[in-house]
C-alpha cells in the first residue's frame, strides 16, 4: 500500500480531488473519518492498494499536516488556478520543503482559470526553493482550457465532463508553445542527469522512457516538484495525475530512509481520535512486516489492530499497511514507534504555537474531575492542543490553533465525553511594584491563654530594577532577632507579595530586616512569619504601588509579499516594531519581530488572519514588565 496526503488552502478543492482519485477504479473506497475532519480513503487502482489522507485547509488544521506527511510516501498540493491566490499555498509549500517529502502540485479548477498556467507556477515558485516543473501545457478553445498536452510523452488529451479524457492530435496552435515548454522541462531535468544533458547538448532526441525515469528520480529525491493541471469537480486531469502517482511515488521502503530511521523503528503513529466503546484509537503505518496484536510497540504490548473500517480485526500488518490500534493507550500520534518506546516527529512536523488561549470551566460543577480527565485524553490525540492551568484561579487553560479548533474541542468535550464547558478569554497577568523606599515596623503580640505569640521586626522595603525579582537580606546586630527566626521573616515577606494593594502579585522589591525583638517564651516561627508579612503589607500600603503589564516579545512568520502591512497593524495594537528579516531557510518568507502588551495578543491573532489572508502565525514569550497608565479595569 502507498499513502498520499492531499493538502492545500481552504476552498481549493482538496476533498473533491481526493474523492476523484479514489473513484478512478470504480470500486467504492473504504472511508475513515478522524478528529479534525481528516478523511482517509483506501482504494485499489490498477492492482495496487492506495490510501489518501484528505486534510482540511486553514491554520486551524495545520497541526495535522506534519503527522500525516510523516506517514506518507508523497504529498499532493492542491492549489487554486489563480495568480493572486498563490500566497495561500505558501504555508503548504513551506512544510513540503521542510519535510523533504516527494510532492506533486495539482493546479485545480483550470476550467475557470483566467491566468496563464505558467504565471501561476511562477507565482508559486517564489515560495519554493526547489524548482516547480510544469509537466503539462493547457489546450485552450475560445480562451477556456479544454485539454492538456503531456510534455514528456507529447500526447494531447481532450477533457470530457465526468469522463476520461480522449487522445487527440496535438493542435497546431499549441505546437510551438509545447515545444518551448518541453525544452524548458528537459533542461530542468538535465541538471540532475548527465546522460540527458549530453543528449541535449548533442541535439539528440531523448527516449520518452528515459525522460520519465529521470523525472521519477528527481521527484523521489525531492529535487523538483512536478506540476499537473485539471479540474477535480469535472474529472479533468485526474487520471494523468494518478498515473504519475502510481509510476513515480516511492515504495514504503524509501520512507524510513527519508526520515533517517533505523531498523528499530517499526511504525509511524499518525493521527488519532477517541471513539465511543473503543476509547483512544491511533492510526499507525507499518514500516516493517509482522506488526501484530500482543507484540511490543511503543514500549508496551499493543491490544488489538483493526482495519480502517474500525470493525475488522487484523492478524498482522505488512510494511506500508495502515491500521487502527485499539486498547493501546500508550501509543501516541505524531511519533515514531519502536518495540521499546517512541520518539517525537522532527521539528518540521510539530504544530505551530497556539495563537488563542481560553479558560475552561464546566457548566456543571460535578463535571470538574471529568473535565480534567477529558482534557488529558484530548491532549493525547490532538497535536495542536496545549493544556495548562491558570496560576491565580486554578482554572483549566487551553491553547488552540484558532476559533474553529476551539469549537471542535468544545464539541468533542460535550459529545465525546459528556462535559459541557464555558470558554472565557484569558486575563492579563498584571503585577505591581513600588517606586520608593520605605521603612516599616510591626509588633505582633497575641495572648490567648497558654503560650502567647510575640515578634517585633523593623524592615526596609525598596524598589529593584524591573525584571530583577525579589531579594531578602538582614543586617540585624546583637542577636535582636535570633537567627533561627530570620527565615520565618523572609517567608512572611514572600507571603505578602502574593497580593498587593491593587490585588496583583508584587514583584521586583528588596526587603531588608534591620532590627527587632523577641521573647524567650512567646516567640516562634509563626509569630515572626506573621510579623514579617504584616510589616511588608504596611510598607506597600504606605509607599503605594504601580501596576505593571507584561510585554511579550513576538515573532511572526509571514509571506514576504504581505509583511509590509504588519508594521501599521502592530503599531495600532500599541506594539513596538523591532524589525523584519528574510527567513533564513524558507523562500518567500519574512520573520517579523516586535514587542507587544500581552493584553493585545488576542487582538493580534484576530487582525493577523485578515491582514495576511490566513497565512501567517506568531509565537510569543515574556520579555519584561512595564508600568501601565490606563485604568486597570480595562485589562480584566
Rounded to 5°, angle at Cα 115 from 558 and 158: 125
Length of the chain measured in residues: 636
**Average pLDDT in the 124-139 region?**
95
C-alpha cell at 591: 520573520
Between strands 48-54 and 74-80, the pairing is unpaired
Q: What's the mean pLDDT when you consider all of the chain?
A: 93
Distance between CA atoms of residues 94 and 75, nearest Å: 13
- Among candidates 399, 352, 403, 395, which has minimal Cα distance to 378? 399
Strand 617-627 to 589-597 pairing = unpaired
Residue 635 has pLDDT above 70, yes or no: no
Q: Which of 2, 71, 72 is nearest to 268 (CA)?
A: 71
Angle among Cα 307, 26, 319 to the nearest 5 degrees reads 35
pLDDT for the residue numbered 392: 72
Do the beta carbons of residue 585 and residue 630 sit within 8 Å? no
| pLDDT higher than threshold 70 for residue 578 | yes
Average the pLDDT over 380-407 and give the result: 91
CB-based contacts of 466, cutoff 8 Å, min separation 6: 433, 508, 548, 624, 625, 626
**What band does 32 get if pLDDT is binned at 50, 70 and 90?**
very high
CB 618 within 8 A of CB 557: yes
81 in Cβ contact with 109 (< 8 Å): yes
What is the spatial distance between Cα 272 and Cα 258, in angstroms, rounded to a whole number?
23
Smallest CA-to-CA distance from 20 within 135, 138, 106 is with 106
Lowest model confidence (mean pLDDT) among 136-140, 302-306, 356-360, 629-633: 629-633
pLDDT in tens, 401-424: 999 999 999 999 999 899 999 999
Domains of the chain: 2-255 (3.40.50.300), 356-425 (3.30.70.870), 432-543 (3.30.230.10), 548-635 (3.30.70.240)
Residue 105 has pLDDT above 90, yes or no: yes
> Does the pLDDT at position 283 exceed 80?
yes
Spatial distance between the Cα atoms of 574 and 349, rounded to a whole number of angstroms: 33
How many Å apart are CA 284 and CA 306, to the nearest integer? 11
589-620 burial code (b ≥16 CB/10 A, e <16): bbbbebbbbbbbbebbbebbbebbebbbbbeb
State how far the alpha carbon of 65 is from the alpha carbons of 68, 165, 176, 301, in Å: 5, 32, 40, 28
Q: Can you tell me the distance from the alpha carbon of 399 to that of 383, in angstroms, rounded to the nearest whole number? A: 11
- The residues with which 421 forms a beta bridge, in sequence order, are 362
Which helix H or strand E contains 630, and what residues bound it?
A: none
pTM above 0.85, yes or no: yes
Q: Span 49-63, mean pLDDT?
A: 96
| Integer angstrom CA distances of residue 360 from 60, 113, 178, 388, 608 | 19, 46, 59, 10, 24
Handedness of CA 315, 321, 326, 330 (dihedral sign): positive
pLDDT band at 142, cuts 50/70/90? confident
Half-sphere exposure of 327 (CA within 13 A, CB side): 10
E strands in 464-575? 471-474, 509-517, 545-559
pLDDT at position 633 is 61
Phi-psi region of 502 (alpha: psi -120 to 50; beta: other; left: phi over 0): alpha
452: how many CB neighbours lie within 10 A of its CB?
15
Give the DSSP per-residue string, 173-239. HHHHHHHHHHHHHHHHHHTT-HHHHHHHHTT----HHHHHHHHHHHHHTTSEEEEEE-BGGGTBTHH
65-69, 141-145, 232-236: least confident range: 141-145
Over residues 629-635, mean pLDDT: 67
Task: Report residue 275's pLDDT band, with 50, 70 and 90 as the boundaries.
Answer: confident
Q: Which three cell numbers stand for residue 142?
A: 475560445
pLDDT band at 450 (very low <50, low <70, confident <90, very high): low
Mean of the pLDDT values across residues 64-90? 97
Residues whose CB is less than 8 angstroms from the CB of residue 550 and which lie 6 or more positions away in sequence, other chains included: 428, 429, 430, 431, 597, 598, 622, 624, 625
Q: What is the pLDDT of residues 522-548, one digit of tens each?
A: 889 999 999 999 999 999 999 999 999
**Angle at Cα 6 formed by Cα 116 and Cα 356, nearest 5°?**
100
Lowest mean pLDDT among 263-267, 272-276, 353-357, 477-481: 272-276
Which pLDDT band holds residue 560 (cuts at 50, 70, 90)? very high
Strand boundaries in 366-437, DSSP class E: 386-389, 396-400, 421-425, 431-434
Q: What is the mean pLDDT of residues 10-35?
A: 94
Using the predicted structure, report yes or no on whether residue 584 has a pLDDT greater than 90. Answer: yes
* Confidence at residue 408, expressed as pLDDT on a 0 to 100 scale: 94
pLDDT computed for residue 267 by the predictor: 97
User: Is beta strand 103-108 parallel, antiparallel or unpaired with respect to 224-229?
Assistant: parallel
Three-class DSSP category at 57: coil
Q: How far apart are CA 295 and CA 307, in angstroms?
A: 17
pLDDT at 629 over 90: no
pLDDT over 90 (residue 429): no
Q: How far apart are CA 158 and CA 181, in angstroms?
A: 19
Q: What SS3 class is residue 313?
A: strand
- Cβ 621 vs Cβ 552: under 8 Å: yes
- pLDDT (mean) for 53-76: 96
Cell of 497: 507579595
pLDDT tens profile 180-207: 999 999 999 999 999 999 999 988 989 9
Which 8-state DSSP code applies to residue 351?
P
Are the beta carbons of 577 and 571 closer than 8 angstroms? yes
Q: Is the pLDDT of residue 439 over 70?
A: yes
The candidate with the shortest Cα–Cα distance to 373, out of 333, 419, 327, 404, is: 419
pLDDT band at 588 (very low <50, low <70, confident <90, very high): very high
What's the confidence (pLDDT) of residue 544?
92
Amino acid at each position: 500500500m502507498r499513502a498520499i496526503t492531499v493538502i492545500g488552502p481552504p476552498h481549493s478543492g482538496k476533498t473533491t480531488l481526493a474523492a476523484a482519485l479514489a473513484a478512478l477504479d470504480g470500486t467504492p473506497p473504504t472511508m475513515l473519518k478522524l478528529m479534525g475532519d481528516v478523511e482517509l480513503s483506501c482504494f485499489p487502482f490498477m492492482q495496487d492498494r492506495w490510501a489518501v489522507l484528505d486534510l482540511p485547509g486553514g491554520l486551524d488544521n495545520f497541526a495535522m499536516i506534519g503527522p500525516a506527511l510523516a506517514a506518507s510516501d508523497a504529498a499532493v498540493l492542491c492549489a487554486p488556478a489563480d495568480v493572486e491566490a498563490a500566497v495561500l499555498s505558501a504555508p503548504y509549500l513551506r512544510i513540503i520543503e521542510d519535510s523533504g517529502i516527494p510532492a506533486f502540485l495539482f493546479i485545480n479548477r483550470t476550467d475557470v482559470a483566467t491566468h496563464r498556467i505558467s504565471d501561476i507556477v511562477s507565482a508559486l515558485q517564489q515560495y519554493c526553493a526547489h524548482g516547480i516543473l510544469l509537466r503539462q501545457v493547457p489546450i485552450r478553445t475560445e480562451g477556456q482550457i479544454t485539454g492538456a498536452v503531456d510534455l514528456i510523452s507529447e500526447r494531447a488529451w481532450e477533457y470530457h465532463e465526468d469522463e476520461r479524457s480522449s487522445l487527440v492530435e496535438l493542435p497546431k496552435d499549441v505546437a510551438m508553445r509545447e515545444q518551448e515548454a518541453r525544452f524548458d522541462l528537459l533542461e530542468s531535468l538535465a541538471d540532475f542527469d548527465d546522460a540527458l544533458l549530453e543528449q541535449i547538448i548533442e541535439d539528440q532526441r531523448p527516449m520518452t522512457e528515459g525522460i520519465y525515469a529521470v523525472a521519477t528520480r528527481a521527484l523521489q529525491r525531492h529535487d523538483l516538484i512536478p506540476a499537473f493541471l485539471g479540474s477535480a469537480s469535472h474529472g479533468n486531469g485526474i487520471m494523468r495525475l494518478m498515473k504519475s502517482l502510481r509510476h513515480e511515488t516511492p515504495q514504503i521502503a524509501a520512507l524510513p530512509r527519508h526520515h533517517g530511521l533505523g531498523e528499530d523503528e517499526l511504525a509511524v503513529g499518525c493521527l488519532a481520535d477517541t471513539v465511543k466503546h473503543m476509547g483512544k484509537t491511533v492510526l499507525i503505518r507499518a514500516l516493517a512486516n509482522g506488526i501484530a496484536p500482543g507484540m511490543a510497540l511503543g514500549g508496551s504490548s499493543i491490544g488489538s489492530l483493526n482495519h480502517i473500517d474500525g470493525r475488522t480485526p487484523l492478524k498482522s500488518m505488512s510494511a506500508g499497511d495502515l491500521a487502527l490500534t485499539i486498547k493501546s493507550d500508550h501509543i501516541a500520534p505524531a511519533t515514531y514507534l519502536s518495540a521499546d518506546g517512541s520518539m517525537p516527529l522532527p521539528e518540521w512536523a510539530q504544530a505551530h504555537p497556539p495563537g488563542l488561549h481560553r479558560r475552561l470551566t464546566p457548566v456543571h460543577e460535578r463535571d470538574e474531575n471529568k473535565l480534567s480527565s477529558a482534557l488529558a485524553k484530548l491532549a493525547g490525540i490532538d497535536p495542536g492542543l496545549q493544556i495548562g492551568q491558570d496560576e491565580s484561579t486554578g482554572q483549566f487553560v487551553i491553547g488552540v490553533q484558532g476559533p474553529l479548533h476551539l469549537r471542535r474541542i468544545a464539541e468533542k468535550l460535550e459529545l465525546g465525553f459528556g462535559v459541557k464547558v464555558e470558554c472565557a478569554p484569558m486575563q492579563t497577568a498584571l503585577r505591581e511594584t513600588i517606586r520608593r523606599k520605605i521603612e516599616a515596623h510591626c509588633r505582633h503580640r497575641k495572648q490567648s491563654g497558654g503560650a502567647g505569640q510575640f515578634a517585633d521586626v523593623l524592615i526596609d522595603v525598596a524598589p529593584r530594577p524591573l525584571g530583577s525579582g525579589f531579594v531578602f537580606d538582614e543586617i540585624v546586630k546583637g542577636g535582636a532577632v535570633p537567627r533561627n527566626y530570620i527565615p520565618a521573616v523572609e517567608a512572611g515577606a514572600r507571603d505578602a507579595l502574593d497580593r498587593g494593594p491593587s490585588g496583583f502579585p508584587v514583584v521586583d522589591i528588596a526587603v531588608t530586616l534591620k532590627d527587632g525583638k523577641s521573647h524567650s517564651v512567646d516567640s516562634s516561627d509563626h509569630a515572626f512569619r506573621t510579623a514579617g508579612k504584616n510589616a511588608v503589607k504596611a510598607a506597600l500600603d504606605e509607599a503605594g504601588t504601580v501596576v505593571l503589564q507584561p510585554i511579550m516579545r513576538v515573532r511572526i512568520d509571514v509571506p514576504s509579499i504581505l509583511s509590509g502591512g504588519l508594521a501599521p497593524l502592530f503599531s495600532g495594537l500599541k506594539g513596538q516594531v523591532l524589525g523584519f528579516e528574510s527567513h533564513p531557510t524558507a523562500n518567500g518568507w519574512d520573520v517579523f519581530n516586535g514587542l507587544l502588551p500581552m493584553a493585545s495578543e488576542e487582538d493580534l491573532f484576530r487582525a493577523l488572519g485578515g491582514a495576511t489572508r490566513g497565512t501567517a502565525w506568531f509565537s510569543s514569550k515574556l520579555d519584561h514588565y512595564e508600568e501601565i497608565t490606563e485604568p486597570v479595569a480595562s485589562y480584566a
